[in-house]
Amino acid sequence: MNMTSPFQPKPLTFAEFRQALALAPTLGLRFRLPTGGLTPIHLHLTEVARVEKRFIDCGGTTRTQVAARLQLWAADDTEHRVGCAKALQVLERGVGLLGSTDLPIEVEHDFPLLTVFPVLGSVVEGGERVFLLGALKADCLAPEVCVPKACQPGGGCC
C-alpha cells in the first residue's frame, strides 16, 4: 500500500475530516464507496485508531506509514443514525490517542470483507455530508530493484 504514489489522490487528514463535520453539524453522515454506492445510513462509528505500519520494502528500505483509522459497522438496528455532530463527538475522544491531527484518515468497513479505504474528500448531497472513499492499490516501493528495465538493451520488451 503506497499512500504517496503520484497516481493516487492525497487522502484527507484527520483535521480536514473533523473540519468537514464541524461545517455541517446538523447533517446526516454517509460514505460513498469506490464503486459509487453509499454505505448504509444506519452505520455505527465504532473505533478511532492510530494505525502504524513499519516494514521493509523489497529494496531494503525501512519505512513507516501512520494513519488515523475509523471503523464503521452496520448493525441490525436500522433506525440508528450517526450524524455529523455525533461523529465529531466520537472523533474528539480519539484526538489524544492519535498524537497528531495531520495524519491521513482511512475508513475500514465490511465490503463484504473488512476493507480499508482512504477518505479523499466530501460533498453535501440530500441533507447529508457524504465522504468519498478511494481504493488502495498495491505498489512496488523500490521499482529500481524489482521492475525489469523494459525497452533498454537486454530489457526484453523489444
Pairing, β 105-110 against β 62-74: parallel
8 A C-beta contact, residue 65 and residue 52: yes
Q: What is the pLDDT of residue 149?
A: 60
Pairing, β 128-133 against β 28-32:
parallel
Q: Quote the pLDDT of residue 17.
A: 98
Instruction: Answer whether residue 112 shows pLDDT above 80.
Output: yes
Sheet of 28-32: strands edge to edge? 28-32, 128-133, 114-125, 105-110, 62-74, 43-56
Tell me, what's the pLDDT at 45? 95
| Report for 42-46, 75-79, 118-122, 149-153: range of highest mean pLDDT | 118-122
Mean model confidence pLDDT for the chain: 90
Convert the pLDDT of each residue in 132-150 to its tens digit. 999 998 888 888 887 666 5
In 3D space, the residue among 100, 111, 156, 157 whose CA is nearest the CA of residue 136 turns out to be 111
Q: Give the start-to-end residue ranges of the domains of the chain.
A: 14-146
In this prediction, residues 10-14 reach a mean pLDDT of 96
Q: According to DSSP H, which parts of 23-69 are helical?
A: none
Q: What digits encode the pLDDT tens for the residues 17-27?
A: 999 999 999 99
Three-state SS for 104-120 is EEEEEEECCCEEEEEEE
